[in-house]
Amino acid sequence: MAVDYRQMWKELDMDLENHDNLCNVLPVAYTDIYLMQKNRPKAMEFWDTVVGAIHGIRPAELIEAQKKGQKVFGTFCVYVPDEIIIALNGIVTGLCGGSQFWVPDGEKVLPKSMCPLVKASVGARLSRTCPFFRIADMYVGETTCDGKKKAYEILGKDVPMYIMDVPQMKRPEDIVKWAKEISLFANKVEEVTGNKLTIEKLNEAIKIVNDKRRAIKRVYEARKNLDVPISGKDALLMMQIAFFDDPIRCAEMCNKLADELEERIKNGVSVFEKGAKRILITGTPMAIPNWKLHHIVESLGAAVVCEEMCTGTRYFENEVKENCASLEEAYLELAKRYMKNNCACFTPNDGRIDDIKRLAREYKADGVIDVNLKFCTIYDTEGYFVEKELKAAGIKCLGIETDYDDGDSEQLKTRIEAFIEML
C-alpha cells in the first residue's frame, strides 16, 4: 500500500497545493522517459521505487535520523567533502535543483539571466516545494561560480549557511589552502553535530565514500563495452540519486546493478541496436530530474556511454588515500583528491580537456556533445577550448546550449540527429 507523506510535508511547512502540481508532472515524465525503455536491467527497480516516492522515502529517513540526533547537511557541489560530514555522524544530501518547475520562483529573486540550476535551487527553497530543502539543518555552499556565490547570500538569509572558499587555481599552495579550508569545515561540522572528529572516524568515512565511488565506477566500466548493457538515461539516474542516498546503501545497490551488467556483458546483451553511435556528454551537471538531453539522444537511437560532468565521472573518479595516520594527513589527502575535479571555475582547467579526450577513448565514443546550461558563462567560455582541442584530436564534437524548459527540444533533436548521422 502506498504510504501517505502529506502529514510529513505539512509538518515541514511545505506548500502542499503547489507541491501537488509538481507531484502530478513527475510520474508522467518518468513513465515516458524511463519506464517505456525496453530491456532495462532488473536492478533498476530500486531506482524506480526511489523516484516513485522521491519526496517521501528518503526525506522520511532523514527526519527519523534527525529525531535520533543526527544533523543533515545540504550541498550543491562536488568539491564539498562528504567524508567530513559522514565522519561526524552527519548526513549529506544534494540540493541542486534540476526542474523547470522551480525556475519561476527562483526568478522572483534572481536575474533571469542566471543559469537554471541556480534559479531552480533557490526556487525550490523559496517555493517550499522540496522536502530536502526544508529538512537540511545547514546548507554548505562554495565559492565556485559567481551565480552560486550570490545565490548563497540569498539562501543564507533563510537558512544557516556555511561557505567553503574553493581556490581558483591548482598550484601546490592552493592544495594546501584547500586542506586548511577542509579543516575549518570540519570545525564547523563538529560545532553543528556536537561530535568530535577523530582520525579513526575519518578513515572509516573515507572508506565508505571510496566504496561508493568504486561501486559507481563498476557501472561505468560496464558502459565501456561494445554491447552496452544499460542506457545512458538509467546510468544518469543512478548517478543523480547517489547525491541523495545513504552512501552504504548506494554502494550496495550500484554493486548489485554492476553484477547484473557484467552478467549481461557475458551474454552479449545490449539495450541498443547493433551499430548505435556512442556519445560522450560533457559539460554542466544534470541535477535530477534533468533527463532532457539523454532522452533526446537515446530517442534518436544513439547510446550515451559516459558523462564527463559532476553528475558523472567527476563524482567517482579518483579515490582518497585510505588509512591516514593523522587528521592533518587526511585533510591533505582529501584536498588532493577533491582538487583533481576539473570544474570550469578553475583557471586554467586543461585537466578537463585531457579527461574528455581520455574518456572518449576509453568509452569508445563516436562523438562528444558539449552541453552548456544557458547563462553558465564559465562552461560556455570553456566550450571554445573543448571544441578546438577535440577537433585537433580528430574527435567529432557538437556544442549545444539549453535549459530545463522543453521549448527547444525539437530544435535540439534536429541538430543532434544531423550530428549522429554525420558520425
Among 341, 366, 371, 400, binds ligand BJ8 (CB under 6 A): 341
- In the numeric block, which cell numbers belong to residue 419? 550530428
State the nearest-atom distance from the C-beta of 311 to ligand BJ8, in Å: 8
Binding segment (CB under 6 A) for ligand BJ8, from list 110-118, 181-189, 217-225, 361-369? 110-118
Burial (0-12, 13-18, 19+ Cβ within 10 Å), 422: exposed
- In the numeric block, which cell numbers belong to residue 375? 547563462
Residue nearer to ligand BJ8 on the CB measure, 144 or 193: 144
Rounded distance, CA 312 to CA 81, Å? 16
Size of the site for ligand BJ8 (CB under 6 A): 20
Q: By the 8 A CB rule, do 243 and 96 touch?
A: yes
Rounded distance, CA 241 to CA 199, Å? 29
Among 115, 124, 239, 251, binds ligand BJ8 (CB under 6 A): 115
118 sits near ligand BJ8 (criterion: CB under 6 A) = yes
State the nearest-atom distance from the C-beta of 266 to ligand BJ8, in Å: 35
Binding segment (CB under 6 A) for ligand BJ8, from list 37-45, 289-297, 339-347, 354-362? 339-347
Residue nearer to ligand BJ8 on the CB measure, 258 or 376: 376
99 sits near ligand BJ8 (criterion: CB under 6 A) = no
Binding segment (CB under 6 A) for ligand BJ8, from list 56-64, 75-83, 363-371, 414-422? 75-83
State the nearest-atom distance from the C-beta of 103 to ligand BJ8, in Å: 12
Please write down the long-range contacts of 196-200, taking CB distance under 8 Å and 24 or more positions apart.
Answer: 197/84, 197/87, 197/88, 197/327, 198/327, 199/324, 199/325, 199/326, 199/327, 199/330
Rounded distance, CA 334 to CA 175, Å? 10
Q: Which of residues 288-317 bind ligand BJ8 (CB under 6 A)?
A: 310
Q: Which of residues 133-152 bind ligand BJ8 (CB under 6 A)?
A: 144-145, 147-148
Binding segment (CB under 6 A) for ligand BJ8, from list 157-165, 227-235, 252-260, 374-382? 374-382
Contacts with 132 (C-beta within 8 Å, 6 or more apart), sequence order:
58, 59, 62, 74, 93, 94, 95, 244
- In the numeric block, which cell numbers belong to residue 274? 547493433
Q: By the 8 A CB rule, do 310 and 216 touch?
A: no
Instruction: Give the interface with ligand BJ8 as residue ranges (CB under 6 A).
Output: 77-79, 115, 117-118, 144-145, 147-148, 284-285, 310, 341, 343, 345, 373, 376, 378-379
